[in-house]
Amino acid sequence: MPEIFIDNVRYEFEGKPLVLQFMLDNGMDHPFFCYHPSLSVPANCRQCYVEAGTPVWNRETNDYELDEKGERVIRFFPKLMTACSLEASDGMVIKTQRTSELVKRAHKDTLEFILVNHPLDCPICDQAGECPLQIQTYKYGPEGSRFEHKKVHKPKRIKLGPRVILDAERCINCTRCVRFTEEISKTHQLTIISRGDKNYPAVAPGTEFDDPYSLNTVDICPVGALTSADFRFKARVWEMNQTPGVDVTNGTGCNIDVWTRDNLVLRITPRFNAEVNDHWMPDFGREDIRRMNENRISKPEMTIEGDRIKSSWQNAELTLWEKLKAFKAEEILFVGSAFSSVEDNFVLQKHAARLDIKNVYFSPFIKVGSGDGFLIDDDQYPNTQGCRLLGLEELSGPALKDKVTASSVKLIVMLEDDIVGRGIVSASDLDGKFVVYMGSNNNETSKAASLVVPIANSVEQSCSYVNVKGRIQRTTAAKETIYTNRKLDLEMSVGRLDRYGTKFDNWVSDRNRIDCIPAWEFLERVAAQDKANFGYTSTRAIMTEIASVNEHFSGVDYNRMDEEPGIQLISDEKVKTA
Ligand code: SF4
Ligand code: FES
């Protein structure tokens, strides 16, 4: 196997790795700015310099040339090389800042040069705490500045588009953002204008940066030049909790990190998954923070003689139980939801089976033509495949309407799916029926329901979804409800503020905790009225049961979902027909 020597340590490699990527993959620390593993390599920041040499080949002996000590003669390149663009070759020798004074000096000098006009506004810059320029200056930079002149001031607070704001003077012209629009989103909306110390990224005159993936440029901008209009000045990274999750705004199931502070979701960023979304996600998936925080249903509600009143949990459980007893099985309709998790749909199914209810359906929400063939899919819900694999009977919108409006149906129990808002039925179609709506947000269906049960959403519990390609992935609780506690749940991330904040600190409060429980738990409590016991203590346990009774989910468990980048449940071929 070919070998490479980095700082006198021998490594073997396969293929033709780039030296910088190889060093990063092997856990070595090395400074860089413009390189990004999913973009082309312009090698323009010069921060990743190394000394590189190759062994001299003796044509006569047809072997490496050796010196008097019997060691290979290495011929170093006359100048420093950029590790990001240098392909590893057999016998190559690399010296980094750890073994070369020249490289150490180069890193210092490059940083000094980059910082000449960079405003040192770390105290107010959104990128502070995540900024490689800040980190690398600390690790590799000069101790002071020799620059005594006024810095070049470039434009500040330029609204490039509806979601992205540019502080041009922070830009180090790495061109990552430009390359992103050229190579990934392919909108070609950004370019670098002007020259030398005046240049910065811009859009063409009269246009705006409204790329549906524009916020990815904020993620990959190594400094705080590109910022999110939504998140700017909201919080510092060290104050927030970072929790892995799944984007539920469409069928792709992009992997995300959910960032919370004081139990509010403040930002969503993509999490790398080579099988699903690489490093990217669409902007509208990030706007889901509004649904997670706002317009929430908190505490059960009932409509009594036309008035909407808050109810207790006990009352809600008893009411549903009594209704399930009062009507015959054929008068009851259960509506599952491709917006809800695999676990919730499974428990709904199980509840129906327990009561011998045969009317259990779901209706996918697919807007043909709204997908873009990249990360935005026609399927508007995250778990259509999951409902199919569970064996829920699938109905088109009109077919579901027929079921809902049938005069024989007296009780409808539905999981989170705004069928009124989606136009499948009108509110008046539900008149005269007892409608139980289990949902997390107020919407047209909740308004028309007789009993509204507030349920935990995808960031308030661990639960799983099967994406359009048949891959199951799971979320982890990022927000507390009033019944969950970050410090008692080992899976929940505990940030600095949670660890050290006291109740007298103004950033720690009991606000923003919703009075809701997961739908499966509510259904279990209703079953318990009959002395039936599903025996679930967590969604992890529900998934174990699903895996044991449904062959599609065989071998699936939460640990595997965490260790692998999700689990492919069915082949691509089957996905098309599933
Ligand atoms: S705005 Fe950021 S990503 Fe774009 S060129 Fe400047 S530093 Fe690089
Ligand atoms: S990372 Fe290599 S030159 Fe920028």
In short, whether 173's Cβ falls inside 6 Å of ligand 2 is no
Residue 171 CA to ligand 1 center (angstroms) comes to 5
Residue nearest to atom 6 of ligand 1 (CA): 171
Q: Which ligand is nearest to the CA of 222?
A: 1
Residue 189 CA to ligand 1 center (angstroms) comes to 14
In short, whether 114's Cβ falls inside 6 Å of ligand 2 is no
Ligand 2: which of 29, 44, 107, 140 to mutate, most ligand atoms within 8 Å of CB? 44
Residue nearest to atom 4 of ligand 1 (CA): 177
| Number of the ligand 1 atom closest to the C-alpha atom of 180 | 3
Give the SS3 label for residue 551.
helix
CATH no. of 3-111: 3.10.20.740
- The closest of 163, 205, 255, 109 to 564, measured between CA atoms, is 255
In short, whether 174's Cβ falls inside 6 Å of ligand 1 is yes
Q: What is the pLDDT of residue 578?
A: 62
In short, whether 172's Cβ falls inside 6 Å of ligand 1 is yes
Residue that the structure tokens 């008068």 belong to: 331
| Number of the ligand 1 atom closest to the C-alpha atom of 176 | 3
Answer yes or no: are the C-beta atoms of 335 and 361 closer than 8 Å. Answer: yes
Q: How many CB atoms lie within 10 A of CB 569?
A: 24
Q: Which ligand is nearest to the CA of 86?
A: 2
Query: What parts of the chain have a pLDDT lower than 70?
Result: 506-507, 576-578
Q: Which ligand is nearest to the CA of 177?
A: 1
Please classify residue 399 by burial: count the beta carbons closer than 10 Å to its beta carbon, then call 0-12 exposed, 13-18 middle and 19+ buried: middle
In short, whether 168's Cβ falls inside 6 Å of ligand 1 is no
Q: What is the pLDDT of residue 143?
A: 86
Residue that the structure tokens 């007789």 belong to: 450
Within this chain, domains 3-111 and 117-228 share the same CATH topology? no
CATH no. of 117-228: 3.30.70.20
Tokens read off for 318: 């008893």
- Answer positive or negative: Cα dihedral of 310, 312, 317, 322: negative
The span from the CA of 335 to the CA of 344, in Å, is 12
Domain positions in the chain: 3-111, 117-228
Q: What is the pLDDT of residue 523?
A: 97
Q: How many CB atoms lie within 10 A of CB 525?
A: 18
Residue 484 CA to ligand 2 center (angstroms) comes to 45
Predicted TM-score of the model (pTM): 0.94
b/e burial code for range 348-380 (CB count within 10 A of at least 16 → b): bbbbbeebebebbbbbbbbeeeebeeebbbbbb
b/e burial code for range 410-437 (CB count within 10 A of at least 16 → b): bbbbbbbbbbbebebbeeeebeebbbbb
In short, whether 226's Cβ falls inside 6 Å of ligand 1 is yes
Give the SS3 label for residue 66.
strand
Q: What is the pLDDT of residue 509?
A: 73
Residue 114 CA to ligand 2 center (angstroms) comes to 13
The span from the CA of 337 to the CA of 348, in Å, is 10
Q: What is the pLDDT of residue 149?
A: 87
Residue that the structure tokens 């033509």 belong to: 369
